[in-house]
């Protein structure tokens, strides 16, 4: 996985070449990871976006479960409701 800084986005040709080579980039701001850059096609945009959202949601649920406690189920349900509301 390759890291690029926000300032490197101005060099779009080099960034696109790096993305073609690496297949994913981590965008950093002040040296800290802030975003992922993934290649997509017009035909695959929606399915890629759904897959990323699904993965992020699963990670959130796993994190909540790992913390445990009685409120974990309530927190998971809140997260599910938030995701459902954002899809509308």
Cα separation values, 27 from 2, 9, 10, 12, Å: 9, 9, 13, 13
Tell me what pLDDT residue 71 has. Answer: 73
Q: What is the mean pLDDT of each run of 10 residues along the chain (88 residues)?
A: 84 90 92 92 94 90 76 79 80
pLDDT of amino acid 37:
93
Token pair in block for residue 60? 């959130």
Which runs of consecutive H residues, i.e. helices, occur in the chain?
A: 12-22, 45-67, 72-87
Q: Report domain extents, the chain.
A: 2-37, 45-87
pLDDT number for residue 49: 93
């Amino acid at each position: 996985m390759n890291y690029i800084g926000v300032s490197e986005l101005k060099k779009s040709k080099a960034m696109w070449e790096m993305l073609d080579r690496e297949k994913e980039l981590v965008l950093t701001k002040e040296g800290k990871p802030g975003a992922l850059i993934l290649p997509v096609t017009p035909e695959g945009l929606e399915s890629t976006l759904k897959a990323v959202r699904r993965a992020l949601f699963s990670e959130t649920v796993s994190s909540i479960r790992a913390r445990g406690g009685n409120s974990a189920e309530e927190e998971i349900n809140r997260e599910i409701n938030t995701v459902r509301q954002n899809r509308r």
